[in-house]
């Protein structure tokens, strides 16, 4: 079999295209393949599909294909242009590549597969000996393709979270589908407008289909949701993990204050105990258990604050908002009588947001999925040694966490 016939079979080239020439360059470890077409062919307009004669050709273009026996394989062709009476002059579509891509469809699909596994552009670039721009171009096209193909569908449970882009209070707002574990929206900052952009992209039917939204107590997110989601007051669920984070921070403030006072007296009782008070009891390392048993049974202020924190965990066991409210009222009285200012301040914070903490009793959702996606995003960011460009960061989030159909059209 001649080399042109062999590559016609390998590439799946069909009329009107054919393999005109093959040049194997052993010294350069590459093989170049020229594709051509016969005279008198009529080509479909890429806009309307009307068959038209060839007007002229663009200059020779080159596409990278899958390697042939470890030889870098390049396709060459001059692409015809047609002049449509309705749409003007356009390049025709070639069957082996997408418009403006420097890779064949099969090569681009393989790049997407390997990128998904590697989760780092730089490592993949070195592996395939491609430029950073080439690989990033594949990612950007894949994300644009995936977002354009995404069909509007009901999303019943949403998670709204923030992600630090870099140090210095530079944040991104991330909205995820808690049932499908996918990122649905990424926007800059953590302002009201950051979340409003997502709600405005939804149809009235999609907004109505939202059953619950897990978020922290950040006011701009709350305000945006109240303004755009029907019956939002009954659907917003302040995430239990963020609630307990605030309480943990209050316990730690009590510890710091007490530790400072004790050290002034030469008492090192609380030295090195920071994390003992922050562990969940079931997660406390066994070697620290005897020490902590003594500490929590003492009359230290931090022991009282820790007991308050642990008691609040019972709130999440209630199935009825009414019974949950009764429990919280007893808990807040305990807090108010304690005289511990950090605990009183966090009690006031939770009291202001109580109704949307108690919605957990009905909806039973948390931002656990969003936190898991955040961990994945952090891993991607760490492997890339950070991102200097917010658009690139958003592209990476959609590529790895968006659940998108990234592949080019079928070949």
* 3-state secondary structure (DSSP) of residue 262: helix
DSSP states of 213-243: EEE-S-HHHHHHHHHHSTTGGGTEEE-HHHH
* 3-state secondary structure (DSSP) of residue 87: coil
CA-to-CA dists, residue 246 to 9, 238, 273, 387, angstroms: 64, 12, 19, 29
CA atoms in the 13 A half-sphere facing the CB of 83: 3
CATH architecture of residue range(s) 111-232+374-411 = 2-Layer Sandwich (3.30)
The whole-angstrom separation of Cα 173 and Cα 393 is: 12
Please, what sign has the CA dihedral across residues 306, 309, 311, 317? Answer: negative
At 182, list the tokens.
């996918």
Residue 231 contacts by C-beta under 8 Å, 6 or more apart in sequence? none
Residue range 64-94, pLDDT digits in tens:
999 888 888 999 999 999 999 999 999 999 9
CA-to-CA dists, residue 273 to 277, 294, 342, angstroms: 7, 12, 18
Q: Give the containing element (helix H, strand E) for 64.
A: strand 61-68
User: What residues in the chain have per-residue pLDDT under 70?
Assistant: 1, 119, 166-169, 383-386, 410-411
Strand 61-68 with 17-25, pairing: unpaired
Domain edges within the chain: 3-96, 111-232+374-411, 240-363
pTM summary value: 0.82
- Identify the pLDDT of residue 165: 75
The whole-angstrom separation of Cα 65 and Cα 76 is: 10
CA-to-CA dists, residue 106 to 11, 64, 126, 328, 329, angstroms: 10, 10, 20, 60, 63
Tell me which residue has tokens 């997408």: 98
């Amino acid at each position: 079999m001649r080399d042109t016939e062999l590559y016609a079979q390998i590439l799946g080239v069909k009329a009107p295209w054919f393999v005109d020439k093959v040049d194997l360059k052993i010294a350069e470890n590459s093989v170049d393949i020229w594709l051509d077409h016969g005279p008198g062919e009529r080509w479909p307009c890429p806009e309307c599909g009307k068959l038209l004669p060839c007007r002229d050709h663009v200059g020779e273009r080159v596409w990278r294909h899958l390697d042939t026996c470890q030889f870098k394989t390049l396709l060459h062709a001059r692409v015809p242009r047609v002049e449509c009476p309705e749409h003007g002059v356009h390049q025709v579509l070639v069957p082996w590549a997408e418009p403006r891509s420097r890779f064949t469809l099969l090569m681009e699909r393989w790049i997407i597969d390997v990128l998904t596994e590697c989760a780092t552009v730089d490592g993949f670039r070195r592996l395939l000996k491609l430029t950073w721009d080439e690989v990033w171009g594949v990612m950007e096209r894949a994300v644009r393709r995936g977002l354009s193909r995404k069909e509007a569908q009901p999303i019943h449970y949403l998670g709204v979270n923030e992600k630090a882009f870099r140090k210095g209070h530079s944040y991104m707002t991330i909205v995820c589908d808690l049932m499908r574990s996918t990122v649905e929206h990424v926007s800059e900052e953590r302002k009201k407008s950051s979340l409003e952009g997502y709600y405005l992209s939804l149809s009235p039917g999609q907004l109505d289909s939202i059953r619950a939204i897990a978020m922290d107590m950040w006011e701009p997110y709350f305000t945006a949701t109240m303004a755009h989601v029907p019956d939002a007051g009954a659907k917003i669920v302040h995430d239990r993990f963020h609630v307990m984070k605030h309480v943990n921070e209050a316990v730690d403030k009590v510890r710091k204050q007490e530790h400072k006072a004790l050290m002034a007296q030469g008492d090192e009782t609380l030295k090195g105990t920071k994390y003992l008070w922050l562990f969940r009891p079931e997660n406390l390392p066994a070697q620290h258990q005897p020490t902590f048993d003594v500490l929590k049974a003492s009359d230290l202020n931090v022991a009282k604050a820790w007991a308050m924190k642990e008691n609040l965990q019972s709130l999440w066991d209630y199935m009825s908002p009414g019974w949950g409210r009764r429990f919280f009222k007893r808990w807040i009285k305990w807090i108010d009588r304690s005289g511990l200012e950090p605990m009183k301040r966090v009690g006031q914070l939770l009291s202001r947001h109580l109704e949307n903490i108690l919605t957990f009793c009905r909806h039973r959702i948390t931002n656990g999925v969003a936190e898991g996606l955040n961990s994945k995003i952090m891993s991607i960011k760490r492997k890339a040694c950070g991102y200097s460009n917010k658009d690139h960061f958003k592209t990476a989030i959609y590529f790895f966490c968006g659940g998108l159909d990234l592949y080019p059209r079928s070949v």
